[in-house]
Chain A
């Protein structure tokens, strides 16, 4: 047998002391198409980021064509013939197709400062013909549909003589027709003996397209082999099969039957379709779904950040429609965003300033609202104790210098100060060590026991299953399943989130 194109051996990587890849070893035979599947956070992206030169390994090595390969920049990886076809495309919308393809290596007629347009248009036409896209090379990329742009990306990869093309969830924004066109192209590329990696949650697509499959779970290889050894059911089992080892605090209280928040028929074209649910007083409600299912979008709409075409939201029977985040905060809404660095905190401001943000006006004195440091400081000291912020972190320290867990506690503290009645938490424990996670779960329970409604979005299934009283499952902007605690079932949730792609064959 010839040398494999890529050989991963013993790849290990951790973030914040958490191992996200543990001793990963497998090979990509030249000319093969390998499917890479796993739950959100299983380590697929990290592995591909290593190959793409965005992330450095802690230990282990990659052999490319038998030679050690340590890409340190995306360019280096590209120069070695590795091309990524991403969800978010890397094309310049304000340039033409031809200009995008030749941006860094425009040919020029000898002695002329000008781009040889004829040549790039001719060569672009050839490449476009090869991928079966019948448009002018002079079309601006912004006038193309998502599917067409993706084909242009592939043409770009081909024009750079790519040896390995990595498709990362290529079909999520494509129509069925565009998907079929993409698959037809992929088959043609296979005939040309290009090596490819196909990452997708659409398991039937993976089974249909690939010759080999690698299943990742918790940063380890849960299974690998020839594609015909797998079925969708077996893949799902391999993806989720794991014992619960997360520690959760014991829950003393119980959800009540009093409806706190009532959401009905929320619809926003292309984002949400007819979302209805209720949140009870004292309940911890989980929301599961794949990336791009619309979970964060739902949270943003509930918090008044994004518009919504139709549907109603009511807090204890009073309509909240069209209220601004500011007005919602006054009514007891809190929203811990999924990205604390860019949305949750002012990174360069102090701990004290960040904590004070939501409650500044409460500490006003007299009619001019002169800020009273005294009452503010008292509240702050109290909340530091409640969230158990590291006592070593001083009030005047910039939040940037804290650990991820302590940063998240500052965000939580900021919201707890307003005594929230509806608390939306989007990925509350992302990038946080186990100890801090426990603390955050404890705070969530305390708040629920005081009668607040908690709405938790998470990509970590065992977090939702360990934490919540009830779980909603979302897929492509719709709620597809609802499970009370007694019925929690990892496979059922995953099946709902993957939806039609697992058990309903695509009509083709």
Chain B
């Protein structure tokens, strides 16, 4: 039984994903068409990008609730600049800087003042949303067509957002598995105190993951802007929960030290998006969407706690 449970949980994201594809594939043949599948990837890209940054944070046993707000602030600043006629080449770096600044703000309170990440980033969430509303004066703002290029430009008939997602996944995967920074993230997540005693500069590592998360959120904002073409007061709202759900569905532990962006977080993001997409293709009642999504998040959390239990019991056998 235990021999079966362990790999089953390990491959649960993949199995769930395949299950969802088959289910919606049976419901509607259009769902499995290549065009729709690419569509799912493109729609999942902004959540996926935020979730990459979130995975870094979760690996250290922290959490970043401010990512949706970072997206909003970055987009609001971009909208303001675009409306006043600035070029994309100025706006995009400014957006990244916004992500870095908010990330640095989080990092400062978490590492220097030792405030719990949950509280700090919850505060940043409200500050960020307030700031964004102030900048946009709570009005929706349309962006020039140049921005829509980010969403619609195609290379090898695949839209740019999917390429951005793929590129960031590759970079994040290499950082996490091949660099000292990445491996030390895992050490800090396993036991921060032990890592500190072993000589790991835990504060640098912690600060680093919140910066990564901030930058990822800013890039996700660019992609979202490219797809929507406008900033609304709801821009990026509740993205943090979709991102956490994607990472956890992909096998990243909320207690730190375990997880990966590829394939884990990618699968998680695709899974959430395919459910939404599938419901659309099925013409399901739109009121069902949030329920379906929350059912998925619930599944993710249950799986996470099951994984922990299995791990603990197998550790006890040693």
Our verdict on whether A and B bind, yes or no, reads yes
CB–CB A108/B198 < 8 A: no
CB–CB B184/A103 < 8 A: yes
- Which of B88-96, B121-129, B187-195 lies at the interface with chain A? B187-195
- Which of A88-96, A375-383, A421-429 lies at the interface with chain B? A88-96
Closest to B200 in A: A104
CB–CB A106/B187 < 8 A: no
- Which of B23-31, B104-112, B172-180 lies at the interface with chain A? B172-180
The A interface is mostly helix, strand or loop, or mixed, namely loop
CB neighbours of A95 from chain B (8 A) = 183, 186-187, 190
CB neighbours of B198 from chain A (8 A) = 90, 103-104
CB–CB B197/A75 < 8 A: yes
B315 is an interface residue with CB less than 8 A from chain A? yes
| Distance of A93 Cα from B255 Cα, bound (Å) | 14
CB–CB B186/A114 < 8 A: no
CB neighbours of A78 from chain B (8 A) = 199
Closest to B258 in A: A94
Within 8 A of B (CB), among A104-151: 104, 106, 108, 113-115, 117, 142, 145-146
A4 is an interface residue with CB less than 8 A from chain B? no
CB neighbours of A90 from chain B (8 A) = 194, 197-198
CB neighbours of B180 from chain A (8 A) = 106, 108, 115
Size category of the binding interface on chain A? 20 to 34
| Distance of A362 Cα from B200 Cα, bound (Å) | 51
CB distance from B107 to the nearest CB of A (A): 21
CB–CB A103/B183 < 8 A: yes
CB neighbours of A113 from chain B (8 A) = 178-179
| Distance of A106 Cα from B194 Cα, bound (Å) | 18
Candidate in B179, B183, B187, B197 with the most chain A CB atoms within 10 angstroms: B183
Closest to B181 in A: A113
**Contact (A94, B257) CB under 8 Å given A103-B184, A114-B179, A115-B183:** yes
Partner of A92, one of B179, B187, B315: B187
CB distance from A80 to the nearest CB of B (A): 13
CB–CB A93/B183 < 8 A: no
CB neighbours of A74 from chain B (8 A) = 197
CB–CB B318/A115 < 8 A: no
CB–CB B174/A104 < 8 A: no
CB distance from A108 to the nearest CB of B (A): 7
CB–CB A92/B194 < 8 A: yes
CB distance from B187 to the nearest CB of A (A): 5
Closest to B197 in A: A74
Candidate in B180, B257, B258, B316 with the most chain A CB atoms within 10 angstroms: B180
| Distance of A146 Cα from B316 Cα, bound (Å) | 11
| Distance of A104 Cα from B190 Cα, bound (Å) | 15
**Contact (A106, B183) CB under 8 Å given A94-B190, A146-B318:** yes
CB distance from A491 to the nearest CB of B (A): 35
**Contact (A94, B199) CB under 8 Å given A142-B315, A146-B318:** no
Closest to B191 in A: A92
| Distance of A299 Cα from B254 Cα, bound (Å) | 32
Closest to A73 in B: B197
CB neighbours of A115 from chain B (8 A) = 178-180, 183
CB neighbours of B200 from chain A (8 A) = 103-104
Closest to A53 in B: B197
Closest to A93 in B: B190
| Distance of A104 Cα from B181 Cα, bound (Å) | 10
A168 is an interface residue with CB less than 8 A from chain B? no
CB distance from B95 to the nearest CB of A (A): 24
A449 is an interface residue with CB less than 8 A from chain B? no
Q: Flag A339-360 by CB within 8 Å of B: 1 or 0 each.
A: 0000000000000000000000
CB distance from B190 to the nearest CB of A (A): 5
CB neighbours of B178 from chain A (8 A) = 113-115, 117
A469 is an interface residue with CB less than 8 A from chain B? no
CB–CB B197/A92 < 8 A: no
CB–CB B187/A103 < 8 A: yes
| Distance of A103 Cα from B195 Cα, bound (Å) | 9
| Distance of A59 Cα from B179 Cα, bound (Å) | 45
CB neighbours of B258 from chain A (8 A) = 94
| Distance of A104 Cα from B184 Cα, bound (Å) | 8
A99 is an interface residue with CB less than 8 A from chain B? yes
Candidate in A94, A104, A270 with the most chain B CB atoms within 10 angstroms: A94
**Contact (A114, B190) CB under 8 Å given A95-B183, A145-B318:** no
Q: Flag A64-83 by CB within 8 Å of B: 1 or 0 each.
A: 00000000001100100000
CB distance from B164 to the nearest CB of A (A): 21
| Distance of A117 Cα from B177 Cα, bound (Å) | 11
CB neighbours of B316 from chain A (8 A) = 270
Closest to B175 in A: A113
CB distance from B132 to the nearest CB of A (A): 34
CB distance from A417 to the nearest CB of B (A): 34
CB neighbours of A142 from chain B (8 A) = 315
CB neighbours of A94 from chain B (8 A) = 186, 189-190, 257-258
CB distance from A399 to the nearest CB of B (A): 23
CB neighbours of B318 from chain A (8 A) = 145-146
| Distance of A75 Cα from B196 Cα, bound (Å) | 9
CB neighbours of B315 from chain A (8 A) = 93, 142
| Distance of A93 Cα from B194 Cα, bound (Å) | 12
Name 15 A/B residue pairs within 8 A (Cβ), A-sorted. A75-B199, A92-B186, A92-B194, A94-B258, A95-B186, A95-B190, A99-B183, A103-B187, A104-B198, A106-B180, A114-B178, A114-B179, A115-B183, A117-B178, A146-B318
| A interface with B by C-beta (< 8 Å) | 74-75, 78, 90, 92-95, 99, 103-104, 106, 108, 113-115, 117, 142, 145-146, 270
The 4 residue pairs across chains A and B that have the minimum distance between CB atoms: A104-B199, A106-B180, A114-B178, A92-B190
